[in-house]
């Protein structure tokens, strides 16, 4: 048995153990379902929300709204973050301009700038995407900058020896060489994005997983809260698996060179 | 390439890193059709010398010129083959070889790359990825990439150092064949004295700290290998053996110019 299989089996066993513990605790009926509903109740809510909906929308509509925001934010963060990261990593002037800005932005929790974004952009869809996007921006910038800056010197020399210009070095050598780091940045950014999603959907949303959880919490519908959390966890897990597959496809040389 | 022989000339080169002098008045000429091999102890400044000729490095004193024009930057007429292969893992074998042509926007680059791969004995390897190749095959890819622009000069920094003895011997013959066809000027660096004598038209020995040219030896063993003589017989030639001793002596004799 190889170590990857072993890890998988242990992971599956761990999840099974947590479910079993959850089931045992709730089956003993010593805990008010208001605090912790049973796995069966959560599953039932899942089916119900998927079929009939909760808070004026089906589970799938909530999911689609959240996915749309995360994807839009990710696209914006990549489109802006990769060039900024390249500027920081490859040019002293670029570093001078962007590094302080990114470093100042990075440690601010999204909840802190959320009100400001709402004042500026209103309570519509844009401000939600912007808040999530800001949270995703810094990880992508920093990962790109580091990847672009740490290209093996001999590869740069080789390209220069063949007459590559500064731009050609950036596009043909630094960018592809940084791809593994950029994808790592995307993974970290997605984590930050999901974290920010719930906060962003606090504000005047009518759909979204975060909104669904919030409105359920207000009425103490705990099974919907837990169901929403599990769905977010499952989706985040699928995203992670997706980025890994993307990695295998885009940077098959990772770990080999 | 024009009929007139081209030259790279390094004249009275002084180089230091920080306060440590590395090269102390080294002069070296490479003309078209010459195969100059530089030998010297590890850390003696061989790579630095090659980087000067390539245009990656500037001398503190002395001149580096190609056909009487000073060398200030890398140029397409001087192709470099690196100590480690310095290939690009995100590209296929074919695209690695075609890379110098891609920089120029040459549309026929794929076909030219395939032809060049064939010339170095890697026909049919174009679609492979680098990690699917052996070390020797990767060095062939590096050689093909260097040759594809038909450079007047080849600057090679211990290209075969990481290869096993058998592969290395095959690569030496392959390189000689390429060179005899195109008659580039070659600057080849090695630790291996046998390799130096086998390939060179002239062996230049660097010795001392800082390094000077301790000895320059014109040889003709490469021609005999090209004419089909067995490498083993050439190596056992007493002339080969005595030159080998001579080079070893000059490598290890206490440097006269240590401060
Ligand atoms: N960028 C650098 N900064 C400071 N010192 C350097 C630098 N590059 C090389 N050196 C030093 O200069 C000396 C010559 O280096 P060089 O790489 O030219 O030697 P070499 O003859 O190619 O050695 P080897 O056979 O081990 O490859 C060495 O002592 C090395 O430590
Ligand atoms: Mg060296």
Q: Which residue of chain B comes nearest to A165, CA vs CA?
A: B103
| A136 and A177 assigned to the same domain | yes
**Given A161, A172, A256, which is nearest B80 (Cβ)?**
A161
Contacts of A155 in chain B (CB under 8 A): 86, 88
Q: How far is CA B80 from CA A13, A65, A209, A214, in A?
A: 55, 55, 57, 63
Q: Is A68 within a domain?
A: yes
The DSSP code for B132 is G
Asked if B92 has any chain A CB less than 8 Å from its own CB, the reply is: no
Q: Is A76 within a domain?
A: yes
Residues with beta carbon inside 6 Å of ligand 1?
B 17, 22, 40, 42-48, 191
| A16 and A39 assigned to the same domain | no
Query: Whose C-alpha lies nearest to ligand 1, atom 5?
Result: B17
Asked if B127 has any chain A CB less than 8 Å from its own CB, the reply is: no
| A110 and A128 assigned to the same domain | yes
Cα-to-centroid distance, B163 and ligand 1 (Å) = 21
Q: How far is CA B162 from CA B134, B165, B237, in A?
A: 11, 9, 27
Tell me the per-residue pLDDT of A121-180, one tens digit each, with 9 for 90 and over. Answer: 988 899 999 999 999 999 999 999 999 999 999 899 999 999 899 999 999 999 999 999
Q: Is A225 within a domain?
A: yes
Q: Is A257 within a domain?
A: no
Q: Is A255 within a domain?
A: no
Q: What is the CATH number of the domain that holds A124?
A: 1.10.3720.10
User: Does the reported pTM lie above 0.80?
Assistant: yes
Q: Cβ of B86 and A155 within 8 Å?
A: yes
Q: Give the count of domains, chain A.
A: 2
Q: Cβ of B99 and A161 within 8 Å?
A: no
Sequential pLDDT tens for chain B (259 residues): 455 789 999 999 999 999 999 999 999 999 999 999 999 999 999 999 999 999 999 999 999 999 989 998 898 889 999 877 799 999 999 999 999 999 999 999 999 999 999 988 899 999 999 999 998 899 999 999 999 999 999 999 999 988 888 888 988 998 999 999 999 999 999 989 999 999 999 999 999 989 999 999 999 999 998 898 888 899 999 999 999 999 999 887 655 444 4
Contacts 24+ apart (CB under 8 A), B123-126: B125/B93, B126/B92, B126/B93, B126/B94, B126/B97
Query: Whose C-alpha lies nearest to ligand 1, atom 31?
Result: B43
Asked if A169 has any chain B CB less than 8 Å from its own CB, the reply is: no
| A116 and A203 assigned to the same domain | yes
Asked if B78 has any chain A CB less than 8 Å from its own CB, the reply is: yes
Nearest C-alpha neighbor of B26 from the set B67, B68, B60, B71:
B60
The Cα–Cα gap between A170 and A172 comes to: 6
| A6 and A128 assigned to the same domain | no
| A140 and A152 assigned to the same domain | yes
| A24 and A135 assigned to the same domain | no
Q: Is A147 within a domain?
A: yes
The nearest CA of chain B is from the CA of A246 a distance in Å of 14
| A67 and A173 assigned to the same domain | yes
| A89 and A2 assigned to the same domain | no
The Cα–Cα gap between B111 and B113 comes to: 5
| A133 and A27 assigned to the same domain | no
| A46 and A152 assigned to the same domain | yes
Tell me the per-residue pLDDT of A96-109, one tens digit each, with 9 for 90 and over. Answer: 999 999 999 888 88
Identify the domain containing residue A9 by its residue range.
1-31
| A236 and A123 assigned to the same domain | yes
Ligand 1, residues B18, B23, B48: which to mutate, most atoms within 8 A of Cβ?
Answer: B48
């Amino acid at each position: 048995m190889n170590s990857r299989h072993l890890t998988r089996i242990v992971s599956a066993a761990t999840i099974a153990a947590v479910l079993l513990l959850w089931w045992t605790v709730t089956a003993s009926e010593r805990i008010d379902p208001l605090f912790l509903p049973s796995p069966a109740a959560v599953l039932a809510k899942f089916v119900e929300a998927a079929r009939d909906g909760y808070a004026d929308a089906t589970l799938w509509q909530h999911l689609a709204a959240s996915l749309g925001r995360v994807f839009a934010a990710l696209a914006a963060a990549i489109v802006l973050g990769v060039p900024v990261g390249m500027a920081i990593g490859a040019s002293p002037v670029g570093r001078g301009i962007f590094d302080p800005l990114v470093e100042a932005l990075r440690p601010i929790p999204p909840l802190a700038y959320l009100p400001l974004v709402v004042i500026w952009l209103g309570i519509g869809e844009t401000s939600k995407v912007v808040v999530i996007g800001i949270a995703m921006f810094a990880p992508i910038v920093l990962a790109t900058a580091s990847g672009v800056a740490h290209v093996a010197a001999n590869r740069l020399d080789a390209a220069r020896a063949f007459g590559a210009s500064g731009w050609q070095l950036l596009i043909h050598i630094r960018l592809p060489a940084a791809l593994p780091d950029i994808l790592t940045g995307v993974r970290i950014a997605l984590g930050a994005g999901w974290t920010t999603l719930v906060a962003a959907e606090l504000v005047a949303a009518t759909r979204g997983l975060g909104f669904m959880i919030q409105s359920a919490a207000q009425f103490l519908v705990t099974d919907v809260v837990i169901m929403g959390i599990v769905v977010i966890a499952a989706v985040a897990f699928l995203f992670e698996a997706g980025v890994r597959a993307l990695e295998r496809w885009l940077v098959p040389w990772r770990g080999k060179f | 390439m024009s009929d007139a022989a081209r030259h790279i000339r390094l004249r009275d080169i002084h180089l230091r890193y920080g306060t440590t002098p590395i090269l102390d008045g080294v002069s070296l000429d490479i003309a078209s059709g010459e195969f100059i091999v530089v030998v010297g102890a590890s850390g003696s400044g061989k790579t630095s010398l090659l980087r000067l000729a390539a245009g990656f490095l500037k001398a503190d004193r002395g001149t580096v010129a190609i056909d009487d024009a000073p060398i200030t930057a890398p140029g397409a007429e001087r192709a470099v083959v690196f100590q480690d292969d310095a290939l690009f893992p995100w590209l296929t074998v074919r695209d690695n070889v075609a890379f110098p042509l891609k920089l120029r926007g040459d549309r026929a680059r794929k076909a030219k790359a395939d032809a060049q791969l064939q010339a170095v004995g890697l026909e049919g390897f174009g679609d492979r990825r680098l990690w699917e190749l052996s070390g020797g095959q990767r060095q062939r890819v590096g050689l093909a990439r260097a040759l594809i622009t038909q450079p007047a000069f080849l600057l090679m920094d211990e290209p075969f150092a990481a290869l096993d003895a058998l592969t290395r011997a095959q690569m030496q013959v392959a390189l000689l064949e390429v060179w005899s066809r195109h008659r580039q000027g070659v600057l080849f660096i090695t630790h291996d004295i046998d390799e130096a004598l086998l390939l060179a038209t002239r062996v230049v020995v660097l010795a001392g700290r800082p390094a000077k040219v301790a000895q320059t030896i014109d040889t003709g063993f490469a021609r005999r290998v090209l004419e089909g003589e067995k490498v083993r017989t050439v190596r056992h030639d007493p002339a080969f053996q005595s030159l080998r001793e001579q080079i070893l002596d000059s490598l290890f004799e206490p440097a006269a110019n240590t401060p």
